[in-house]
Structure 1
């Protein structure tokens, strides 16, 4: 069934039909399910928060169908963050083509300080 959804979405894009999108306000999320066909997703913005935390914002699909998780790598010289998204294993059989802005709060082991944040 998931292959059918992907095939239909691909066909719609090939015909020049834009998927219906609905912008929703950003809400903090934790990791959302295991994904197959993972891909790097653009981080659209980030915020440095108190308490050694960083919030990253990104766009993804319906959480019933798409999963996301952030990968954080810290060194004494820099902090690197990547967001991985993809179709969820065991996700819904029928998915809406909706775009959702989501965010995740990541806990750093030390204050960001002068270290550059690479997103």
Structure 2
């Protein structure tokens, strides 16, 4: 039995070790992939930016739409607007428009029970300069 235990420990140690020819993995210097642009639609629930959300967390942006040259709509999935809010962040460069969306509970409903229904939401965010040919990317 002792021999079996020693053999198993040896296999675990050998499996966890790295070989001498292993090269360290370098972090990627590539920018994040562009978020898909879609035509504007009317079936999403419009949210108003709320930087005062509670227990906010990063929420994936599914797509974006051009409202006008200086405004884009970010599309995401969250909870009902009666209980949940969004806080979009935009950082512009000459080549990209980096966007993120945090979602969380509204302060006035943070201590209340809310229904768990997924809502396809959208929030419009203004830009400092026109979109032009810049990519919209997640950050």
Listed as ranges, the gaps of 5+ residues in structure 2 are 1-42
Listed as ranges, the gaps of 5+ residues in structure 1 are 1-24
Count of aligned positions: 95
Q: Is it true that 1:118 corresponds to 2:118 in the alignment? A: no
Q: Is it true that 1:72 corresponds to 2:68 in the alignment? A: no
**TM-score normalised to the size of structure 1?**
0.70
Distance in 2 between residues matched to 1:33 and 1:97, nearest whole Å: 22
Instruction: Please name the residue that 2:118 is paired with.
Output: 99
Instruction: Please name the residue that 1:51 is paired with.
Output: 69
**TM-score normalised to the size of structure 2?**
0.61
Instruction: Please name the residue that 2:102 is paired with.
Output: 84
Name which of structure 1's ranges 99-108 and 29-38 shifts more when overlaid on structure 2.
Answer: 29-38
Corresponding residue SS for 1:90: helix
Distance in 1 between residues matched to 2:106 and 2:130, nearest whole Å: 33
Larger-Rg structure: 2
2:54–2:106: 8 Å Cα contact kept in structure 1? yes
Q: Is it true that 1:39 corresponds to 2:57 in the alignment? A: yes
Instruction: Please name the residue that 2:127 is paired with.
Output: 108
Over residues 41-80 of structure 1, what are the superposed CA-to-partner deviations in whole Å (9 max), with x where a residue is unaligned? 0111111232321111111112222221211111222111
Q: Which has the higher contact order (CA 8 A, sep 6+)?
A: 1
Q: Give the superposed CA RMSD.
A: 1.7
Distance in 1 between residues matched to 2:84 and 2:67, nearest whole Å: 27
